[in-house]
């Protein structure tokens, strides 16, 4: 029981962060998709990416590295497929999330002057791509394929 308590909080942080990340991406994508002409809804979509998905990503990644170090996954020569999928989606997701936040921020600034809809559509597309990738990662973490 003592061993379980040493890794349960980092694993909880990882799972909680992943849930917050996916929830923030889902709300952001839905708001960006539905708020085509409503500036307020578009801002809610962007803010959910910035204020929910980004902190969720940080918590997910910190929890993942903490759990991996406690479980000794960094010392394994032949890492399991599910771990590799997790690392790939997390690393690519970080890049896509940052790019989408930059594009969305610029798009919101241009929205005040009547433009920026193309950048917000790109933010929506990147959010949907990240959601698809994280669904695969969630499956991999749960099913643990060899």
Block mean pLDDT (10 aa), the chain, length 146: 62 95 97 88 95 97 91 82 90 96 94 86 96 93 80
Residue 7's pLDDT is 56
Residue 103's pLDDT is 96
- Tell me the pTM: 0.89
Are 90 and 17 in contact, with CB atoms under 8 Å apart? no
Instruction: Name residues whose C-beta falls within 8 Å of residue 66's C-beta, 6 or more positions apart in sequence.
Output: 10, 13, 14
DSSP, res 74: G
């Amino acid at each position: 029981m003592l061993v379980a308590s040493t890794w349960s909080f980092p694993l909880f942080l990882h799972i909680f962060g992943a849930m917050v990340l996916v929830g923030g991406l889902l709300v952001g994508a839905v708001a960006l998709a539905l708020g085509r002409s409503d500036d307020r809804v578009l801002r809610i979509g962007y803010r959910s990416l910035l204020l929910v998905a980004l902190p969720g990503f940080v918590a997910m990644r910190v929890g993942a590295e903490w759990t991996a170090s406690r479980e000794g996954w960094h010392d394994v020569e032949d890492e399991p497929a599910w771990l590799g999928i997790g690392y790939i989606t997390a690393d690519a997701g970080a890049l896509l999330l940052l790019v989408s936040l930059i594009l969305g921020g610029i798009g919101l600034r241009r929205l005040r002057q009547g433009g920026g809809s193309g950048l917000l559509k790109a933010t929506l597309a990147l959010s949907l791509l990240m959601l698809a990738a994280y669904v695969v990662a969630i499956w991999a973490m749960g099913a643990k394929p060899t």
